[in-house]
Every structure is written in C-alpha cells, then in structure tokens.
C-alpha cells in the first residue's frame, strides 16, 4: 500500500495491527550521460513498490527524493539539501509518523551521500526522546537505514550481471533498475572513456573536472531493462526479509 493512496481511516486501522512503515530515500542528481536525474530516488521507490505489491502489510511512505548531493551541483538539474536542512526535514518526517503511532521507520536508501546525514537525523530523534523529562517519553521509536545494494546477496548479483565497469556512480545496475521501470527512457550512447575514472569526491567544481561526464568508475552502456528486472525482483525479495525482521524485532 502506498500511504498517499490511502485514507486516514485506513491508516488508523493499519496502526491497530502494525507499527512499521518503509520510506524510499534518495537524491535528484546527475547520473552520467544516460542515467536519469532521479535514479537514486527511483531505485528504492521501484524496489519498495515491488515489495509492497507482494506483501499487503507493507506501507510505503512518500519518497524523500532530494538528498545531500552538493558534489553534483556543477551538472544542471542536480538538486541538494544542506546536511542541516536534511536533518531538520527528516526529523519532522519521522516525528510526524511517530505522532500517529508508527514505531518502526525503515528507510530504503539509494544514495551513498545521504548515509551520514540520515544517521545524524536518527540521532536527533533519539536525543529528543532521551532529553525529554521522565514520564513524557512517547512510544518507542526505532529507525533503520538500508542501502538497497547492500541487501543480502544484491551486491554480488550486480557484480555478476555487470562484471566489468560497475563503478560507484551511474552504475549499470542502478541505471538498469530505472530502465526496467521506465523502458521508454532506456537509452544508450558511446561513452568515452568506456569505463569512467575513479577518484575522490570533493566539491562540485572539482567533481566535474575529475569526472567530466558525471560517471565514476562505471560503464552504464551495458544496462538493459531485462537485467534491471532481475535486480528488482531479487532486491524486493531481500527487502521483504530485511523489513520483516526489522518490524518483528
């Protein structure tokens, strides 16, 4: 079920039975010459929706689709939040949900650059409760951050499907996932060099100098909707196991 397609009475009924919610979180940032700007938000959203279609007990919240992407800002279309803004926004998202009785908030992440900031937001949520006067604590809250490519077995599957030029940004696996969900956006072009360079990530201007077409270490020209489907099917299955364990704990 998708939260934004439910009514408040349906959510109230659900909260009588379950306390968990799954939120896709990503970024809006360049993904090389062939990848969509929404790739990092679309991947967790596509995978989460696939899992929710299999399991009616999973509610998917709105996708948090702009993250920490300052290093991509030299490429048009990229958007970013300052870490402090993102921490504030995430704290409010989580607190809105816990206000109604959600206790287990699982974020499925599509962007490595979000990790430290999301964890800082979790610490803010926990600190607020710990600092409250005794007796004023609300229901317990547990937050979890899971990178989709680190779900059990998924990184190995991606390496198997794309043995060379997987890289770390605009990877063929993430591009394939979006091409599976949006086949009319599947495209290809001659990439030069075929496999992009690797290197450190610093500020936006430095990034564009080091990685002129936006890719890092990758060759997304091997991405196809068919391979994307394999990744989505396997990742949704692994997600259901991981989410199930989290809400049951």
* Least distance between Ni ion and beta carbon 174 (Å): 5
- What is the number of the residue whose Cβ is closest to Ni ion? 40
In Å, how far from its chain's centre is CA 152?
Answer: 16
Q: Which is nearer to Ni ion, 28 or 91 (CB)?
A: 28
Residues 21-50 that bind Ni ion (CB under 5 A): 39-40
Residue 103 lies near Ni ion (rule: CB under 5 A):
no
CA distance 124 to 142: 12
* Least distance between Ni ion and beta carbon 113 (Å): 9
In Å, how far from its chain's centre is CA 41?
Answer: 5
In the β-sheet with 20-25, what is the strand arrangement from edge to edge? 20-25, 104-109, 142-147
Q: Which is nearer to Ni ion, 21 or 37 (CB)?
A: 37
Q: Which is nearer to Ni ion, 45 or 174 (CB)?
A: 174
**What is the tally of helices (H) and strands (E) in the chain?**
8, 3
CA distance 107 to 44: 9
- Cα dist from 243 to 48, 74, 155, 178, 234, whole Å: 10, 36, 18, 22, 14
* Least distance between Ni ion and beta carbon 110 (Å): 6
Residues 161-200 that bind Ni ion (CB under 5 A): 174
* Least distance between Ni ion and beta carbon 27 (Å): 7
Tell me the number of residues near Ni ion by CB under 5 A: 3
* Least distance between Ni ion and beta carbon 168 (Å): 9
Q: Which is nearer to Ni ion, 83 or 113 (CB)?
A: 113
Q: Which is nearer to Ni ion, 39 or 242 (CB)?
A: 39
Instruction: Output the furthest CA–CA distance in the chain (Å, rounded).
Output: 63
Q: What separation, in Å, do the N-terminal and C-terminal C-alpha atoms of the chain show?
A: 22
- Cα dist from 176 to 117, 158, 182, 226, whole Å: 27, 10, 10, 8
3-class DSSP string for 194-212: CCCCCCCCCCHHHHHHHCC
* Least distance between Ni ion and beta carbon 22 (Å): 19
Binding mask 116-155 for Ni ion (x = CB under 5 A): ----------------------------------------
Q: Which is nearer to Ni ion, 40 or 219 (CB)?
A: 40
Residues that bind Ni ion (CB under 5 A): 39-40, 174
């Amino acid at each position: 079920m998708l939260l934004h397609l439910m009514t408040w009475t349906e959510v109230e009924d659900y909260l009588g039975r379950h306390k968990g919610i799954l939120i896709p979180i990503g970024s809006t940032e360049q993904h090389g010459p062939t990848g969509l700007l929404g790739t990092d938000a679309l991947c967790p959203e596509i995978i989460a929706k696939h899992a929710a279609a299999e399991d009616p007990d999973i509610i998917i919240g709105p996708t948090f689709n702009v993250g920490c992407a300052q290093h991509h800002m030299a490429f048009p279309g990229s958007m970013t939040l300052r870490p402090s803004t993102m921490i504030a926004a995430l704290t409010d998202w989580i607190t809105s949900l816990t206000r109604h009785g959600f206790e287990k908030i699982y974020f499925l992440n599509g962007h490595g650059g979000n990790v430290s900031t999301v964890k800082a937001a979790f610490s803010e949520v926990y600190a607020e409760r710990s600092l409250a006067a005794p007796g004023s604590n609300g229901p317990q809250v547990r937050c979890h951050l899971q990178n989709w490519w680190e779900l059990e077995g998924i990184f190995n599957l991606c390496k198997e499907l794309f043995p060379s030029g997987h890289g770390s940004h605009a990877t063929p696996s993430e591009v394939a996932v979006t091409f599976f969900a949006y086949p009319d956006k599947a495209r290809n072009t001659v990439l030069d060099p075929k496999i992009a360079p690797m290197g450190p990530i610093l500020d936006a201007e430095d990034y564009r100098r080091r990685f002129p077409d936006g890719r890092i270490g990758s060759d997304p020209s091997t991405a196809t909707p068919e391979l994307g489907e394999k990744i989505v099917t396997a990742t949704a299955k692994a997600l259901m196991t991981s989410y199930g364990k989290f809400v049951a704990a």
